[in-house]
A and B are shown apart, each in its own frame.
Chain A
Amino acid sequence: MPGRKVLMDFEVTADSHTLAAYRARGGYEALAKALSTMQPREVTQEIVDSGLQGRGGAAFPAGRKWQGIDPDDGQPHYLIANADEGEPGTFKDRWVLEYNPHALLESMLVSAYALGVRHCFVYIRGEYDMPWRRLDAAVEEAYAAGLFGENILDSGFSCDLFVFRGAGAYVCGEASSLLGSIEGTRAYPRNRPPRMTVRGLYQAPTVVNNVETLSTIAWIIRNGAAAFREIGTEKSPGTRLISVSGHIRKPGVYEVELGYSWARFLHEDCGGLLCNKALKAVIPGGISSQVLTGKDAKVLTAGEVEGLTLDHEKLRSAGSSLGSGGMIVIAEGTCMVRLLQIMLRFYHHESCGQCTPCREGTGWMHRVIDRIVAGEGRPEDIDTLYYVARFNDGTTICGLGDAAGYAATAMLDNFRDEFEYFIEHKRSKHGGNLECQGSS
């Protein structure tokens, strides 16, 4: 087993997602503790001390983000759980919503208390039906039990929660664009400055945290920052929910203690590769990790994976990151050109169209790769892809354009020969294979 647990620390049964089951395993004790024994700023301090990093992709320290808000400044503040999980290869928040929704709700109550928030939102992606049903049922249970609404647990603290269902736009996973969606407009990412903790939802200070990040809060308050720091590594405390998919025997969501051996995780915990193939590459953190961040789409080759551990520092030094924890495992014999084609089609499809480099660049790269796959590639296409990728890096309002560029750059850097082969021979070096060929 890949280490200690924070969010998957119970056996999933037919009713383990209910309020009763959650209470039986110590649920809502953190809320009672915070409301009766802690000042809001003490809660924030505890999160700062825990070293908890954002789990959406950027790995920004959660406590530092919270410190951007003054709970006593007299303005309304908002807290939003980002459950717009749309990053290809990522389905971990879905697990929390379906199997441990009260961990999120309790954590949001504690966080709302710390941040002086009266109204919270969960922004859940539109396609998620079962996760929404489970979450919605949990919210109703919590309201019925007096855990939301006026004067919660007789503490004088009041808080409402609105579950906002998206309607099909990947870009909403970018925290600032999700604000537009909640405000009833097109979901355009917003320019910084101002930071969202200064002017966010309805122009008021706002914290947007990923579901996994937020859901960890209750555990930290219940067990203390010191206990949290004992898990994981010094610089990456805690655990990560890793979604594993692709050419792997046992795909699914795993809770992994940070610092765990990568090779052991893949080959033992996840059962190794399909069809007894050798590992070709791993996309470690969602194809772009999180719309906000940088080099996450960097593909790791098989050689790089050996000897790595699962934590942010190690991956960063390998030029990649844990991103959203969406790990896609790619076996030998897979056509990387066609894989990149799918990625670039995705970014093109999801570009919101607001700013120039991403709007034009994602389409440009998509058309070039489509042409290569159609056997009409030109030798200069590789340079063109590099060029477009280079000027999508850091030139856009949000990270979607960057991510598209990183995907292209990473694939070209590591598998350039496949691209050259495709252009020269007008066919794939690997027969265009995406699936694992052979017996499983």
Chain B
Amino acid sequence: MKHLIPEFERLKARLPPGHDATLLVPCLRRIQEDRGYIENSDIDGLVEYLGVPRIQIEEVLSFYGMLRRAPIGRWHLQVCRNVSCSMRGAERLLGQLTDKLGIGPGETTPDGRFTLSTVECLGSCGTAPVVMVNEAYHENLSVADIDALIERLD
């Protein structure tokens, strides 16, 4: 986490002074982007850097769905299953992924390639159904598209 401090300092420049705790969620996101998940040493580092109590960081970590404390697969497939996506085939997509990867939502393939999750609305209802692969949205997916997508990701 320490090597990211210069970046955090640049973020701070656009904040009102004296409100370092505001950087908590941005720092956690940046650390996760860097390592893939948030480690105990990162929490200790932020306690020191931001001056917030450790319990506050732990509370935040378990509140926000995107933050995680353990590594996951190389490709994180997040299938939206909210109203609009379900109306355009999300359940079939999820079924196809489960069959093809042999894992259920919340699980990772034994080779560490894929982690499958279900999520609620991703704001992609007009281009439903959507699967978020790591950071990127893949929209208007058919079952054939998802097969092709899985082949491309190694």
- A207 part of interface (Cβ distance < 8 Å): no
Q: Which residue of B24, B122, B125 is within 8 Å of A184 (Cβ)?
A: B24
Q: How far is the CB of B142 from chain A (nearest CB, A)?
A: 12
Do A251 and B19 touch (CB < 8 A)? no
Beyond A88-B120, A161-B14, A166-B64, whether A245 also contacts B125 by CB under 8 A is yes
Closest to B32 in A: A167
Q: How far is the CB of A65 from chain B (nearest CB, A)?
A: 21
- A258 part of interface (Cβ distance < 8 Å): no
Q: How far apart are the CA atoms of A275 and B91 in the complex, in Å?
A: 19
- A434 part of interface (Cβ distance < 8 Å): yes
Do A435 and B87 touch (CB < 8 A)? yes
> Interface segment, A9-17, A221-229, A307-315, A326-334?
A326-334
Q: B64 contacts which chain A residues (CB < 8 A)?
A: 126, 166-169, 187
Q: B122 contacts which chain A residues (CB < 8 A)?
A: 127
- A68 part of interface (Cβ distance < 8 Å): no
Count how many chain B residues have C-beta atoms less than 8 Å from C-beta atoms of the other chain: 47
A333-349 with Cβ < 8 A to chain B: 334, 339, 342-343, 346, 349
Q: B25 contacts which chain A residues (CB < 8 A)?
A: 164-167, 181, 184
Q: Which residue of B28, B81, B87, B119 is within 8 Å of A436 (Cβ)?
A: B87
A-B contact count (CB 8 A): 155
Q: A125 contacts which chain B residues (CB < 8 A)?
A: 123
Do B120 and A170 touch (CB < 8 A)? yes
Do A167 and B22 touch (CB < 8 A)? no
B89-125 with Cβ < 8 A to chain A: 89, 91-92, 119-125
Q: Which residue of A88, A167, A202 is within 8 Å of B16 (Cβ)?
A: A202
Closest to B66 in A: A168
Closest to A407 in B: B83
Closest to A186 in B: B63
Q: How far apart are the CA atoms of A71 and B120 in the complex, in Å?
A: 39
- B26 part of interface (Cβ distance < 8 Å): yes
Q: B92 contacts which chain A residues (CB < 8 A)?
A: 435
> Interface segment, B1-9, B129-137, B143-151?
B129-137
Do A184 and B63 touch (CB < 8 A)? no
Q: How far apart are the CA atoms of A172 and B52 in the complex, in Å?
A: 21
Q: A168 contacts which chain B residues (CB < 8 A)?
A: 64-67
Q: A346 contacts which chain B residues (CB < 8 A)?
A: 82-83, 120-121
Q: How far apart are the CA atoms of A397 and B50 in the complex, in Å?
A: 30
Closest to B84 in A: A245
Q: A435 contacts which chain B residues (CB < 8 A)?
A: 86-89, 92
Do B60 and A185 touch (CB < 8 A)? yes
Q: How far is the CB of A411 from chain B (nearest CB, A)?
A: 12
Q: How far apart are the CA atoms of A157 and B89 in the complex, in Å?
A: 51
Do A184 and B14 touch (CB < 8 A)? no
Do A126 and B83 touch (CB < 8 A)? no
Q: How far apart are the CA atoms of A185 and B126 in the complex, in Å?
A: 32
- B29 part of interface (Cβ distance < 8 Å): yes
A252-282 with Cβ < 8 A to chain B: 252-253
Beyond A167-B28, A436-B87, whether A129 also contacts B121 by CB under 8 A is no
**Most B-side CB within 10 Å, residue of A160, A186, A283:** A186
Closest to A251 in B: B126
Do B123 and A130 touch (CB < 8 A)? no
Q: How far apart are the CA atoms of A97 and B66 in the complex, in Å?
A: 21
Q: A76 contacts which chain B residues (CB < 8 A)?
A: 16
B20-51 with Cβ < 8 A to chain A: 21-26, 28-29, 50
Q: B59 contacts which chain A residues (CB < 8 A)?
A: 185-186
Closest to A169 in B: B64
- A28 part of interface (Cβ distance < 8 Å): no
Closest to B90 in A: A434
Do B19 and A85 touch (CB < 8 A)? no
Do A129 and B63 touch (CB < 8 A)? no
Do A90 and B65 touch (CB < 8 A)? no
Q: How far apart are the CA atoms of A247 and B87 in the complex, in Å?
A: 7
Q: How far apart are the CA atoms of A94 and B121 in the complex, in Å?
A: 13
Q: How far apart are the CA atoms of A118 and B14 in the complex, in Å?
A: 10
Q: B136 contacts which chain A residues (CB < 8 A)?
A: 129-130
Q: Which residue of B66, B84, B125 is within 8 Å of A126 (Cβ)?
A: B66
- B128 part of interface (Cβ distance < 8 Å): yes
Q: Which residue of A85, A165, A183, A247 is within 8 Å of B123 (Cβ)?
A: A85
Beyond A87-B121, A343-B83, whether A169 also contacts B19 by CB under 8 A is no
Q: How far is the CB of A339 from chain B (nearest CB, A)?
A: 6
When each residue 239-254 of chain A gets 1 if its CB lies under 8 Å from chain B and 0 otherwise, what string results?
Answer: 0000111110001110
B→A interface (CB under 8 Å): 11, 14-16, 19, 21-26, 28-29, 50, 52, 56, 59-60, 63-67, 81-84, 86-89, 91-92, 119-128, 132, 135-137
A→B interface (CB under 8 Å): 76, 78, 85-91, 94, 118-119, 125-130, 160-162, 164-170, 181-187, 202, 243-247, 251-253, 283, 287, 326, 328, 330, 334, 339, 342-343, 346, 349-350, 352, 434-436
What are 13 residue pairs bridging A and B, where the CB atoms are less than 8 Å apart in the complex?
Answer: A87-B121, A89-B84, A119-B16, A125-B123, A127-B122, A127-B123, A129-B137, A184-B22, A184-B25, A245-B125, A245-B126, A245-B128, A434-B91
Closest 8 CB pairs of A and B: A168-B65, A184-B21, A167-B64, A184-B24, A245-B125, A168-B66, A245-B84, A88-B121
